[in-house]
Each structure stands twice: as C-alpha cells, then as structure tokens.
Amino acid sequence: MSYTIEQAKRNCTAARNAMKRARSEHFALGAFNLDNQETLIAVTRAAAKLNAPVLVEISHSEVEMLGLENVRDLVDNYKAEYGVEMYINLDHSPKVESAKAAIDAGFEFIHIDISQAIHDASEELIISRTKEVVDYAKKTGALVESEPHYFGGGSNKFTKAFDYDEIKKTFSTPEGAKAFVDATGIDTFAAAIGNLHGSYPVAKRLDLDLLQKIRDAIDCNISLHGGSGTPGHYFEDAVNIGVTKININSDMRVAYRTTLEHVLKENKSEYAVIKLMDEVIDAVQAVVESKIASFAASGKAKV
C-alpha cells in the first residue's frame, strides 16, 4: 500500500516528537534490526509489554529480501494490532537513491551512510550526498542520520577480540562532529566512542567523557550504533548525557540462531517450522526487553 504524503508527514512529526521527549526525559529509543517477521513480532511484543517507543530497522540486505513497502505494511499492521509506538529506520543506506525510496515509502528515520559502499569516500563526497538526502527528506519530515567516516565491524558474532587502540583511531571528535552537522544539516549524528558493530568475546567500552564533549558541541540528536555486547551501565550513562537512539542487531541474531539450533535439535521430526518459533521469538523478545530497560525507555510510549 503506497503511503500518502499526509500520512508520512504525520508519522514523521510523531517521530520527531519522540526524539524530543527522549532528549528531555533522558531515555533512548532502541533501534532493533529486523531479519524476518519473527523478529518483528519479538520487538513489537517487547514494546507492548514495557510500553516503550521503539524503532525497527532494515539495512540493504533486508531491503532486498523483504522490500520497503512490505516492511512498511507489516510494521503498520503490528502497530495497530498491539497498539505500540513504533517507527521504521533505514539503516546504513549506501546510496542516495535507496534513501529517497525509503522516504517515499514513509520511513520516519533514514540513515545515509555513503562510506558503507565507499569505505575511503572523501568527507566532501559524504557531505554532498548526505545534504542531498537531507533536502529530499523535507518532503515528509523524515529524520536523517549520518556520520563523516566509515564505521567498522559487522552484524555478526566474532571469535576474535577487537583491538581497542585501533578502534580509538576512528573515534568521533567534538570539532569534527560540529563541522559535519553544520555542513549537512542532519537531524542525528552517529557518534563513534567505542561502540562497534558486532558481538565479540570481550565487552565494549564507551568513552563517556568524549560523548559528553560531543553532546556539548552539537545540538542535534546523537545515536550509538553497534550496541550489542555493551554492558548496560554504559547505556544508562549515555542516555543521561543525551543519546536518544541506540542500535541493536547482533545480540538479537545470536539469541535467534542459538535458540533455533536448540529447538531444531530437540524436535528432529517436526517439519512445520512455524510450530518451533515460539521459543525463538521469546528469546529475541527477552533481549529486546533487556535493552529497553537499559535505555530507560519503559513506560515512555505515546500512542
């Protein structure tokens, strides 16, 4: 079902208000990646149980599998069924055209990430293409997020520990954040302060002093990507400083796969896979609920 401009504008206005509430009330909206309908059900049930506003998000591979408008329809159906406050984010869109398509499909949040496709993209190229998306997003009022450099890691479970000293070389700086926000006009800055995509055998460490300096330097929203594998106390401090969006993916995928492997092993003669999914959904839902609690978002929904 195609979205009208009026529908999209209403939803985007609500999304902007949610981010303003998060900033003033010191909580963050969890942005939870969708692999399939089961993960959407898990996120929706967690949001309903805790009365929390959430984002669900899809990146390029999920777009190719599920389709923008199919996701829009699924999310709207579950929003109506469960009565939750839920928005959609296009995560790490590598192309301007893809970002524009998501805006046309009524997505409320757009993350344009030119460096995903071009890891060594110049800041000038990233700025120019980000500005193009920012200008196009005025059509509906969608919130645009970006960053001035490639963000490392991957949405997977890794067996090798990361080198924290190497990661520090990619940290955001207050001066760089301000310059990028001023040049692009983005609504949300994706900060790099020790957060890293993926799940690792060592816990992640966030530089909260740096986060505070970035918060003092810019007035737009701040997001944290790569939230999986991060001790919850960092999130609690981050939302108090002013982070309003935190992305979670790998922790959900690990819970999904390990639980599914267990269920399949215990039910070798069952071929109606749908009958095996309740335990899987419950496991993913438990992850989402724990993150919502760490983000101080319980009870913050406005439906």
Positions annotated as catalytic residues are 91
Residue with tokens 């981010």: 19
Of 26, 52, 55, nearest to 239 by C-alpha is 26
Task: Count Cβ atoms below 10 Å from residue 72 Cβ, excluding itself.
Answer: 20
Of 199, 201, 292, nearest to 254 by C-alpha is 199
Q: Kindly state the tokens that stand for 70.
A: 């199919």
Compute the distance between CA of residue 140 and CA of residue 120 in angstroms, rounded to an integer. Answer: 31
Task: Count Cβ atoms below 10 Å from residue 256 Cβ, excluding itself.
Answer: 21
Contact indicator for 255, 284 with CB cutoff of 8 Å: yes
Point out which residues pair with 31 in neighbouring strands: 55, 247
Q: Kindly state the tokens that stand for 15.
A: 């999304």
Compute the distance between CA of residue 178 and CA of residue 181 in angstroms, rounded to an integer. Answer: 5
Compute the distance between CA of residue 229 and CA of residue 149 in angstroms, rounded to an integer. Answer: 22
Work out whether strand 188-191 and strand 109-112 pair parallel, antiparallel, or are unpaired: unpaired
